[in-house]
Structure 1
């Protein structure tokens, strides 16, 4: 049972106390600072229910505050104690988290995360013996691998690299070999076992040449050991897999300038922090609270490259906690190569938080000063979201100028510029960009469908358009919009029965799209099922289409109703 589940498992016990009103001891809550706009409830049930609502909305600062308030009112509740600890750690409130973890331990109610947090504190204090004693894996626990790897680093911190490597080699699961060998390489490099480090990193690279973090560590090792050409090959491979990544571009620039990078991990404390970051990143989509807890511990142990804050911002943004996400992104060091990613994400969070003016101003400033591909593409996306079509075209154009020679993966930026060019009533430019997108990546179904449908809708190039749409549908047979395009192509070619088959399929797959109902109404009318056609046109109007579609459908309805009456 995970920590979130344990919180709810204790609901019955806690709510059973709902008839009791507790006075809140001032001393117990002296350090329980409320987030802005949050007020403590007077009763245990009130604080518990507020915490549950905060959990539902993934508002971790409020959740942590209300749980600690509830715990002060009912200090004997183990479930409240554990939940308050987890929420405090996920919110980065280390003093509270460590205090609550100690209380769990004193009660004999150890939890894997609490022991890991206390072990992290011991590691930071360089008390490696105490850290080792705390890092005992719990059976069938999702943190088992992290516990083992942190224990390995604690042993390495004691100066026994050989024992640490022996512990790592006890991990026999092929699915864990990547992390095992990466950490073995880091430890070997620190100990000066160059041959062993090289062997382990070669194994990592052979399994996953696209992993940015692991292969960057390998390339750093190669540069420090005068294998610059091999390091360049690794970075170029990464660049191909992850185009336009600022960190890779910065690494290549440093390589060209002759700079010698430091180790990816400088000591055992940083090694343990790396474990926590990797596990926090892996859990980001599975358990946001646990992920944030581990990422905060990684920061506590001194992971300084901004990566934990970036992942934390992504987790909080996914939870729609936009202000908290912005705060996390702002904490990425200004010197980090990936700071530009954090700045673009701040713009996206402001837009998602329905602060369009702030989002636009922020990204205009970032793009002006950064003058890089990612900043201008993000600015273009924000302009697109705000229906500033011509501004979006201009920002996409500047992004294309900055990105260098396009590769196959760059089809998307031409596709996106085509979309905003069309909305800006510049079809010739849109058509040119769609052709460019397909030149770069001929089998992209989105681009095939967009260009094919546009030709069909303009009643031009019908046979080539049909072939393109058929190719798109073959790649995604359940895409209602692609199938609508196919039906509309058949309609334009006069193949009304074929059109009806596809359009009826499209409406089942993609209901609620006015254009599909409109097309289906046209098909029904052409095959003689006129009242069904009228019904679909009326349904189109019910779906609140844009003004052009509404005017066209109203005209057809007026004519059809005269004929039917």
Structure 2
């Protein structure tokens, strides 16, 4: 929501969040340093254990206490975070993270009047959260009029208006004022998100406006693209009155406050900071599937795949988000190195949803990443067969099938797929580079190939692989002098890549700088090259590039003057 204003929002929310005095090291150095190392790796489980061990040596150190709180929250251990937060607050230290945890605990206990008083006394979190929490707490305390007035007051701030009105609409719907909620949801101030759209659809159904609800669902979600939406579609088509359950009560609304902020901050603040809000949203409503999905995604992106798998597993089979959770779980299993388990989980999902192109494509992607190209191809075929009218957003599936076709030797099909991807997304650098490079390798349509790669470089001038493709294109067309500075640039961008380094060696050789070529080939061998490339590099070191080309029956290098002397001196 209001993404253009989120930088300011992130600043407001994060100010003072991770603060604290220096830690005294006597007796705690070991566990503290271990905790810091674990934190740097986002290993929250280890960090929590080490920080809590350190607290045994120094139980009143504010910085240690705050770090332990943050690790426990990220781990989902609110039971461990709450007592530490209360102890930290008792020291008189001003800690926003401690105040946030204490406030969340107060709300979880349903002590709404206490929460209102704490915020009024300056013990809140920040303007947005404080305003929304106050309003929802008033609703929870039975003061609906005061709550609506608080939402309106918050809406007077232009930067927070959409948040305030969205939550006001949820609050009104939660007490049965569907007419009032519909006016807000249908107005210009609500940003369309999955949750807000489902809420609006449920409100319309409660008003016996199923046709309007179904039309909105079809417009925003399409037909069959989201398995989590299909049960809602079927109920509307059957003429059922769908209950409003996006927010059932004030506590659900408060969970939505923290989820709304987390979702808005994703990509604008650090993942660790965003995780605090998504975890608190779960704490207040354990079945908040959107918060769970966000938490799991954040953990997965931080490399905490096992924690992500645990989070995905908490979403019930009956939850509309179950499909998305299982897809995320399969990806997390794969990312954790459990390749077969990830692929098997995705196969089960495909079996349950055989008519869903996204599921087929996700399975094919995992097989492709395993370099099981022949197995991936029929799955991509099945996915593409389900896409009746390809749109620009479908470019990637044609691109990936093209990659698999090229890797399995079906060049004609590969070229057709790659060109189809370009018709859907004409200036996509990945496709321009892949197709251009493939044509260079095949010595086909070289002028077009170089033009494609140049467009890719213009779009991504700092992408080492794409820059390398351009240098290789010049090399393969005999323009060695033009290739050299571009190859050196690619090597700067990708200094430990075996292919880029090997290419640089070949180009040095082509301009007569043979000692430098041999040096680069030796470097390439140290970067774990593909076994086939390793054999070829070693052969070049034994007999030289010219002799290798002759052995391979490839055209010889074109005659050219050396650049910079025989050995580049």
Query: Normalising to structure 2: TM-score of the pair?
Result: 0.81
Task: Quickly say closer, same or farther: Cα 1:192–1:49, change in 2 above 3 A.
Answer: same
Task: Quickly say closer, same or farther: Cα 1:502–1:57, change in 2 above 3 A.
Answer: closer
Q: Deviations over 1:75-133 (max 9, x none)?
A: 44344444444443443334443333444455555644444444444444443212211
| 5+ residue gaps, structure 2 | 1-14, 548-556, 558-565
1:119–1:132 CA contact under 8 A, matched in 2: no
Pair 1:148-2:160 in alignment: no
Count of residues paired in the alignment: 531
Task: Quickly say closer, same or farther: Cα 1:113–1:523, change in 2 above 3 A.
Answer: closer
1:462–1:492 CA contact under 8 A, matched in 2: no
Task: Quickly say closer, same or farther: Cα 1:544–1:228, change in 2 above 3 A.
Answer: same
Q: 1:364 aligns with which of 326, 329, 347?
A: 347
1:329 shift after superposition: 0.8
1:298–1:308 CA contact under 8 A, matched in 2: yes
Partner of 2:440: 456
Distance 1:68 1:126 in 2: 28
1:332 shift after superposition: 1.2
Mean CA deviation greater in 335-344 or 499-508 = 499-508
1:431–1:451 CA contact under 8 A, matched in 2: yes
Pair 1:406-2:418 in alignment: no
Partner of 1:21: none
Equivalences for residues 461-472 of structure 1 within 5 A: 461-472=445-456
1:534–1:560 CA contact under 8 A, matched in 2: no
Q: 1:262 aligns with which of 206, 227, 243?
A: 243
Partner of 1:186: 170
1:487–1:503 CA contact under 8 A, matched in 2: yes
Partner of 1:165: 148
1:548 shift after superposition: 4.0
Task: Quickly say closer, same or farther: Cα 1:382–1:225, change in 2 above 3 A.
Answer: same
Q: 1:271 aligns with which of 253, 273, 294?
A: 253
Distance 2:322 2:69 in 1: 31
Task: Quickly say closer, same or farther: Cα 1:317–1:243, change in 2 above 3 A.
Answer: farther
Partner of 1:246: 227
Task: Quickly say closer, same or farther: Cα 1:305–1:421, change in 2 above 3 A.
Answer: farther
Pair 1:381-2:401 in alignment: no
**Which segments of structure 1 move beyond 6 Å, counting only runs of 4 or more?**
561-565
Query: Normalising to structure 1: TM-score of the pair?
Result: 0.81
1:212 shift after superposition: 2.0
Task: Quickly say closer, same or farther: Cα 1:561–1:125, change in 2 above 3 A.
Answer: closer
Partner of 1:132: 116
Task: Quickly say closer, same or farther: Cα 1:229–1:473, change in 2 above 3 A.
Answer: farther
Mean CA deviation greater in 501-510 or 176-185 = 501-510
| 5+ residue gaps, structure 1 | 19-43
Pair 1:423-2:404 in alignment: no
Distance 2:507 2:90 in 1: 74
Partner of 2:338: 355
Q: 1:298 aligns with which of 281, 285, 288?
A: 281
Mean CA deviation greater in 230-239 or 405-414 = 230-239
Q: 2:23 aligns with which of 11, 14, 18?
A: 11
Distance 2:74 2:545 in 1: 62
Equivalences for residues 37-56 of structure 1 within 5 A: 44-56=28-40
Partner of 2:296: 313
Q: Deviations over 1:264-309 (max 9, x none)?
A: 2122111111112222334455344544443333223225242222
Q: 1:214 aligns with which of 196, 203, 217?
A: 196
